[in-house]
Amino acid sequence: MVDPKRVVSYEDMLKVIQQPEKVIIDVRNIDEIKATGKIPSSINIPLGEVQNVLTSMSDDEFKKNFQRSKPTSSDELIFYCQSGRRSSEALDKALKLGYSNSKTYLGSWNDWSSRQQ
- Return the active site residues: 81
Indicate the SS3 state at residue 108: helix
Q: Under 8 Å CB-to-CB from 65, ≥6 apart: which residues?
A: 57
Q: What gap in Å lies between CA 114 and CA 51, rounded to an integer?
A: 30
Q: What gap in Å lies between CA 62 and CA 13, rounded to an integer?
A: 23
Q: What gap in Å lies between CA 82 and CA 16, rounded to an integer?
A: 18
